[in-house]
Structure 1
Amino acid sequence: MSYKIAVVVGSIRKESFNRKLAQALQKMAPQGAQFELLRIDDLPLYNQDEDANQAPQVKRLKEQVAGSQGVIFITPEYNRSIPGVLKNAIDHASRPYGQSAWAGKPAGVIGMSVGAIGTALAQKDLRTVLAYLDMPTLGQPEVYLQAKDGFFAADGSIAEGSRDFIQKWLDAYLAFVAEHAGRVETV
């Protein structure tokens, strides 16, 4: 079975470690897993007054999420939490109330930061939000990456020392998506 995975990078910085991580994950994806990096840098600030008339960029984001079988969130940690731009994207695609594009989508959370604890606190906060949004979220393995010289190879892939660890996370996430895709809802 093939899966389309929406990838939301919580940083819009040009040289973002997390964008590089997203691109490296794309290269590691097995055949049948299509990764689509979603654009969030052009979204207006969320305003509930606009729920009935969402901007085209918001509609695009919601359609991309709705058309996926899972979502990977790749986030840096800003001030011990998730970046505002990521929360803004999450809020947009969850609205209006009752029309969340996120609901039921299996989520994977990973991230990279220069700090020694990687993105542990940002991921904790993000997981709280995802639970509220009814997104089943891969619990194990957890991945908190510290950005260090040599993590990425010259071609942008993940260097040998970390590649197997990241591949295990990716494999676990894709198995999690497959598990959720196979569930049949009963009423």
Structure 2
Amino acid sequence: MGKPSIIAIVGSLRKDSFNRQLAKKAKEIIGGRAEFEILEYSDVPLFNQDTEFPAPEAVKRVRDIVKAADGIWFFTPEYNHYFPGVLKNLIDWLSRSVSRDIPPLLSGKPAAISGVTPSMSGTGIAQDHLVTLISFLNMHIMNVPRLTIPNVMQQLDEGGNLLLTASAPYLEKQADAFIRFIEEKKK
């Protein structure tokens, strides 16, 4: 059994978003223990059944990447007490069957969830909504530990980069747990 492969799906398309920075921190923590890639999906169009078959090239590309992954780690902000629409759109595309012979590719995939936000509320509400959706899609969710980081402005350097002072040990704990979770599911 080789190293597990993890695809990070960031719920914000902003190139320097706090959640993208959090995903990069997770990649650093994981190091060589797993393959870790942040999924780029800004070119995925809005879901439309009129263009579902054949799927647009961008959709085919992300489906192939997600299909090959052993686990998916979601990094989501919280917009108006919900996860972002771009994330929902991506999940809508990923949840659809490619054909009658191929099951939906999210079914059975191990998933972890983290999130960071400038507000005091953290991303707990958005994460709970995301759990509802991906549970319906039959993903294997690692509910403990989940990571919600509120007040991110207190964990930034002078340039606005994420330092993860107080939250670093919790991200380390989640990374360790997710690698074990994926390995258990692969057995």
TM-score by length of 1: 0.90
Q: Which range moves more in the overlay, 64-73 or 35-44? A: 35-44
Which aligned pairs between 1:50-89 and structure 2 lie closer than 5 A?
50-89=51-90
Cα deviation, residue 115, structure 1? 1.5
* Cα 1:13/1:180, change in 2 over 3 Å: same
Cα deviation, residue 51, structure 1? 2.2
Cα deviation, residue 158, structure 1? 4.1
Give the equivalent residue in structure 2 for 1:32: 33
Q: Structure 2: how far apart are the matches of 1:3 and 1:152?
A: 30
The answer to whether residue 167 in structure 2 is matched with residue 167 in structure 1 is: no
2:149–2:167 Cα contact (<8 Å) kept: no
SS in 1 for 2:46: coil
Q: Structure 1: how far apart are the matches of 2:19 and 2:151?
A: 9
Identify the match of residue 132 of structure 1 among 116, 130, 136. Answer: 136
* Cα 1:147/1:15, change in 2 over 3 Å: farther
Q: Which range moves more in the overlay, 156-165 or 15-24? A: 156-165
The answer to whether residue 120 in structure 2 is matched with residue 116 in structure 1 is: yes
2:8–2:23 Cα contact (<8 Å) kept: yes
Cα deviation, residue 60, structure 1? 0.5
Q: How many residues align?
A: 182
Q: Structure 2: how far apart are the matches of 1:103 and 1:4?
A: 17
2:97–2:105 Cα contact (<8 Å) kept: no
1:51–1:96 Cα contact (<8 Å) kept: no
2:76–2:116 Cα contact (<8 Å) kept: yes
Give the equivalent residue in structure 2 for 1:41: 42
Q: Which range moves more in the overlay, 92-101 or 171-180? A: 92-101
Amino acid at match of 1:178: E
Cα deviation, residue 159, structure 1? 3.7
- Aligned-residue identity in percent: 35
Give the equivalent residue in structure 2 for 1:149: 153
Compute the RMSD of aligned alpha carbons.
1.9
1:7–1:73 Cα contact (<8 Å) kept: yes
Cα deviation, residue 157, structure 1? 6.6
Cα deviation, residue 49, structure 1? 2.2
2:106–2:137 Cα contact (<8 Å) kept: yes
1:10–1:83 Cα contact (<8 Å) kept: yes
Q: Which consecutive residues of structure 1, in runs of 5 or more, have no partner in the other structure?
A: 183-187
Q: Structure 2: how far apart are the matches of 1:84 and 1:153?
A: 29
TM-score by length of 2: 0.90
Amino acid at match of 1:177: I
Give the equivalent residue in structure 1 for 2:16: 15
Cα deviation, residue 52, structure 1? 1.6
Instruction: Provide Cα deviations, 1:25-71, integer angstroms capped at 9, x if missing partner.
Output: 11111423111111121110001222221000000010000000000
